[in-house]
C-alpha cells in the first residue's frame, strides 16, 4: 500500500554541508518543514547536526552526481513521508579559468553537478508533485547565469543552461500547480569562494609569461577585492524559505551586492558599451 502522506511539509535540499544549503536547511526547518539535507559525504554532517539541535532535519547521503544515490534518497523520502513539497537544487561547484585553458573532463564535471544533477533530481521529484498538483522547485543559479565575466565563462555556461531549462520548466508545469523559481545570488560569503574555490589545471599552472598571465592576474585581483564586499549568505537562505510558501512567485530573484547595477548595465547598455565597462573594471 502507498504511504500515507505526512501532514508536515517536506523539503529536499542539496549541498547542505555549508553556505546557502546549510543555512536554508536550518531556516526551512524553523519555518515548519521536515528537511532532508543532502550532503556529498554524510560523514561531514557534524556541523549541520550541531546547529540543528532538535530541529526536524535528517542528513542524507547524496552525491548529486551519482544516479543511485539520487534515486535512493527520493524513494526513501516518499516511502517515509508520501510527499516532497519542495526541492531546492542548491549543490554546485565553480571552476575558474579561461575557455582555452579548460580540459574536457573539468568542464564536464562542472556541468554534471550544476546542470545534469539538478535535471535528474527534479525529474525524480516531479511525478509526486504533479500527482498532488502542488510543489515548488527552487534552482539556485547565480548572477553568472545572467551576465558572464572573464575567468568564469565555463561556470556561467552551466548557470545559463540551468536558467534556460528552468524557464521552460516553469511553463511546462504551470497547469500542474508546480512552481519553478530561480534564485540568482551575486557574491556572498560562502565556501564557493573560500574552501571550495577552484581553478582549472592549466589556469593554476599558468606561467608568468603565458598568454593569459596578465588577464589572469587582473581577474584574480578582482575576485580578491570582491571578497571584502560579499553579502551575508543568510539573505539568500531567508529568501529561499519565503519562496517555498509563496503561491505566486516571480521566475527570477537576483540579489546581492552590486546586482542592480549589473542588471541595469545588461538591460540599458548596448553590448559594446558593456565591454568597455568590463575593460574598465579589470583595469
Catalytic residue numbers read: 155
Alpha helices in 38-115 (DSSP H): 46-52, 67-81, 104-111
Contacts of 20 (CB under 8 A, 6+ apart): 90, 140, 185, 188, 190, 233, 236, 237, 240
Specify the long-range contacts of residues 152-158, CB closer than 8 Å, at least 24 apart.
152/94, 152/96, 153/98, 153/99, 154/95, 154/97, 154/99, 154/102, 154/106, 154/107, 154/110, 154/200, 155/94, 155/95, 155/96, 155/110, 155/114, 157/111, 158/92, 158/110, 158/111, 158/114, 158/115
Report whether 280 contacts 218 (CB < 8 A).
no
Among 182, 183, 187, residue whose Cα is nearest residue 231:
187
Pull the grid cell for residue 278.
Answer: 568590463
- Return the SS3 of 30: helix
Pull the grid cell for residue 276.
Answer: 568597455
- Return the SS3 of 229: coil
Q: What is the DSSP letter of 44?
A: G
- Strand (E) positions, the chain? 10-13, 34-39, 57-61, 86-89, 95-96, 135-140, 178-185, 198-199, 252-255
Amino acid at each position: 500500500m502507498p504511504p500515507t502522506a505526512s501532514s508536515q511539509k517536506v523539503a529536499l535540499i542539496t549541498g547542505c554541508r555549508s553556505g546557502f544549503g546549510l543555512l536554508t536547511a536550518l531556516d526551512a526547518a524553523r519555518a515548519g518543514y521536515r528537511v532532508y539535507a543532502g550532503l556529498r559525504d554524510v560523514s561531514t554532517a557534524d556541523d549541520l547536526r550541531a546547529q540543528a539541535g532538535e530541529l526536524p532535519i535528517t542528513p542524507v547521503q547524496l552525491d548529486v552526481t551519482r544516479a543511485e544515490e539520487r534515486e535512493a534518497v527520493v524513494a526513501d523520502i516518499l516511502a517515509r513521508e508520501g510527499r516532497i513539497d519542495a526541492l531546492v537544487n542548491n549543490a554546485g561547484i565553480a571552476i575558474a579559468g579561461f575557455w582555452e585553458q579548460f580540459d574536457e573532463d573539468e568542464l564536464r564535471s562542472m556541468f554534471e553537478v550544476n546542470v545534469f544533477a539538478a535535471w535528474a533530481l527534479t525529474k525524480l521529484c516531479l511525478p509526486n508533485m504533479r500527482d498532488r498538483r502542488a510543489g515548488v522547485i527552487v534552482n539556485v543559479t547565480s548572477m553568472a547565469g545572467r551576465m558572464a565575466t572573464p575567468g568564469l565563462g565555463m561556470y556561467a555556461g552551466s548557470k545559463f543552461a540551468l536558467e534556460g531549462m528552468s524557464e521552460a520548466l516553469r511553463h511546462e508545469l504551470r497547469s500542474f500547480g508546480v512552481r519553478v523559481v530561480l534564485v540568482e545570488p551575486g557574491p556572498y560569503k560562502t565556501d564557493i569562494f573560500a574552501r571550495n574555490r577552484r581553478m582549472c589545471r592549466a589556469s593554476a599552472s599558468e606561467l608568468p609569461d603565458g598568454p593569459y598571465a596578465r588577464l589572469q592576474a587582473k581577474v584574480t585581483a578582482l575576485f580578491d577585492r570582491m571578497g571584502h564586499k560579499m553579502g551575508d549568505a543568510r539573505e539568500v537562505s531567508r529568501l529561499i524559505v519565503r519562496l517555498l510558501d509563496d503561491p505566486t512567485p516571480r521566475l527570477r530573484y537576483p540579489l546581492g551586492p552590486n546586482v542592480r547595477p549589473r542588471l541595469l548595465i545588461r538591460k540599458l547598455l548596448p553590448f559594446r558599451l558593456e565591454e568597455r565597462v568590463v575593460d574598465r573594471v579589470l583595469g
